[in-house]
Amino acid sequence: MATRRTLFGCALCAATIGLSAASVQAQTGGVTRTILQTTELPGGTHVAVLVTAEIAANAEVARHTHPGIESAYVLEGESVLQMVGVPDRTVRTGDGFQIPAGTVHGVRNGPRATRLAITYTVEKDKPLASPA
């Protein structure tokens, strides 16, 4: 019985995160996201979502927020990270950055595609991102 509940819970969590990711992709043209893994964190209120993202050449990711921390590592490329309250920052291959929960931000990409490895630590059952 516990195994069946656990499997159902995992499937439900994966479906919820998948729907959230699909809605994020619809909101931000020029970005392709692939969810690699979702892990429920102790306490059951948050999940860690491991994602790869590719931002197309010359794309702009619309301003948005996340209900938790975004931790990213630039695998390839160069983009300008735009966060409210701080100067724009160019991030390049090998750079890492974090965006606090609820911080309005966007990205402006250069002439080449940029690839990122991202972990979102977000509240469970909330959209992965919301437009700002």
Q: What is the mean pLDDT of each run of 10 residues along the chain (132 residues)?
A: 42 42 52 96 96 96 95 98 97 98 96 97 91 92
Model pLDDT, residue 95: 99
SS3 (DSSP) at 126:
coil
Model pLDDT, residue 4: 43
54: alpha, beta or left? (left if phi > 0; alpha if psi -120 to 50): beta
Model pLDDT, residue 63: 95
Model pLDDT, residue 28: 58
Residue ranges and CATH numbers for the domains of the chain are 2-131 (2.60.120.10)
Strands (DSSP E) contained in the chain are 31-40, 46-55, 60-65, 68-76, 78-83, 89-92, 96-99, 105-109, 114-123, 130-131
